[in-house]
Amino acid sequence: MAALASAARSRRRLLPYLHRLLHSGPSAAAAAPSPSNSRFLRHASPVPRTPDHSPYLRFPEARVSTLPSGLRVVTQAYPAATRMASVGVWVDAGSRFELPGTNGTAHFLEHMAFKGTGRRPNAEVLEVEIEDMGARLNAYTSREQTTFFADVQARHVPVALDILSDILQHPRFPERAMKRERGVILREMEEVQGMMEEVIFDLLHAAAFKGHALGDTILGPEENIKSISKKDLEQYISTHYTCPRMVVSAAGSVNHDEVVDQVKELFTEFSTDPTTADQLVDANPAIFTGSEVRVQNVTMPLVHVAIALKGASWTDPSSIPLMVIQSILGSWNRSVGVGNCSGSSLARGVSNGNLAESLMAFNTNYRDTGIFGIYAIALPDTLHDLSRLIMAELRRLTFQVSEEEVARARNQLKSSLLLHIDGSTAVAENNGRQMLTYGRVMPFLELFARIDAVDCATVMETAKEYIIDKDIALAAMGPISNLPEHRWFRSETCSDDEFTRRIFFGNAQNN
């Protein structure tokens, strides 16, 4: 009986605490006293802690060599029981570097690279060679980079490098293959039109970088896909596929010296033009424009909307604080079921108010600029309240941020970065991309030290710089009649002092 009474008293002490924890924000949970006999918090705490980063000292070093041609080779070798490796070519060229009227060339070239070479006369020969090795060959194009890579067994790394060098140095571009590939890309375009997130972010780029190639789509318009010629592809390769703008990256079961020797032997016919991507960007910088693209479609049940502000470039000191801000804003999806227990106050507000089906903070970096903001999917009737909540949360970041939520955001950001380098493919991709954007591979200890240096004061200072009185880019599609006007979003970025000044002087001038 004494044991039962003791257990009952323990439950009475514990249940109110759990109620407070589950029905209040993180700050309240952190402030609540932890019962000493609670198994719920014996090995964890609602207060985030800074983890120990010493295990990352054991990460294998990334080795870099620069050939006389300017081509860079980066490898990161680590023990792999599967004896697998990933190797690829990262090119500092994407859709933003296309000439006016040729939008879509970079992506078209990615498709045509696999259609045959002098030694491998057609796609079938190339496919058989890849499949016989049990390998995987793939490619993708972004607005600033193009990548060709292969996942192979370690003993086939030399063959993979030979294939990559061959398809990039000796592509044939047969007319029949080009005609067939036009149809493939047009069907791909139809598929993309059904992916609302892709559509919205293309519209957002068009609004944010109006009249600039960075605002164009990666696939290009239909008329360009039908008219891109062999000459356009050859000119794009000769202009942008140059040694100083290329990186060969390998990871997994690889030997650095062997890879360097093979690259020296195989990658010999690319231009050594010293013009860099930075020089091209400086000559035609992207200007963030505060504009909007709205597509009214009353047949859609939900509204898709993206609200963005100008972000930071890859090398801007504010890029990492903005990553932390993205983590603070967080993401939420009704189907996941995490609502008022979320560490994100924006997610809790959306969940408690039943204001959206999902939302996601985003932060995209480019060489000279960036965009960050919120993408949400919601019912038409909730648009006004949802917009008010989003803009209020953005403004809150400029004056009221707790160390607890910043610490939690730092931990989530670091975990996300680690999850994105799980496997040789991801490591090779990370290293290739960093070599193009930073000119080096940033060790994780350094990256995490930079993240840990972001405190609540840094977050608020960065938020003031990038949010207060700044232009808004907006993209929306669906039954959007209840979505506030663009000028309302712009007014919501004003501080109280700025808003008063505008109203006062605006009225004075009108009178």
The residues annotated as belonging to the active site are 110, 181
d(CA 305, CA 291): 14
- Measured CA to CA in angstroms, residue 273 lies from 20, 40, 165, 263 at distances of 65, 63, 18, 18
- Number of H helices and number of E strands within the chain? 20, 12
Q: Residue written as tokens 């980066």?
A: 74
For residues 421 and 442, the answer to whether their CB atoms sit within 8 Å is: no
Query: Which residues have C-beta within 8 Å of that of residue 94, sequence separation ≥ 6?
Result: 106, 141, 142, 143, 144, 145, 146, 218
DSSP 58-82: GSPPPEEEE-TTS-EEEEEE---TT
d(CA 497, CA 505): 12
- Measured CA to CA in angstroms, residue 90 lies from 60, 97, 299, 374, 462 at distances of 21, 15, 42, 29, 31
CA neighbor of 150 nearest in space, from 183, 177, 122, 113: 113
CA neighbor of 108 nearest in space, from 178, 192, 187: 178
Query: Which residues have C-beta within 8 Å of that of residue 317, sequence separation ≥ 6?
Result: none
Sheet with 246-252, edge to edge strand ranges: 63-66, 72-77, 246-252, 84-91, 146-153, 136-141
φ/ψ region of 70 (left if φ > 0, alpha if ψ in -120 to 50, else beta) reads left
Check residue 154 and report its DSSP letter: G
- Largest Cα span, the chain: 90
Query: Which residues have C-beta within 8 Å of that of residue 107, sequence separation ≥ 6?
Result: 95, 141, 185, 218, 219, 220
φ/ψ (deg, to 5) at 85: -145, 155
The number of angstroms, rounded, from the C-alpha of 285 to the middle of its chain's C-alpha atoms is 20
- Measured CA to CA in angstroms, residue 95 lies from 102, 103, 144, 334 at distances of 9, 7, 6, 35
Structure tokens at 67: 């050939």
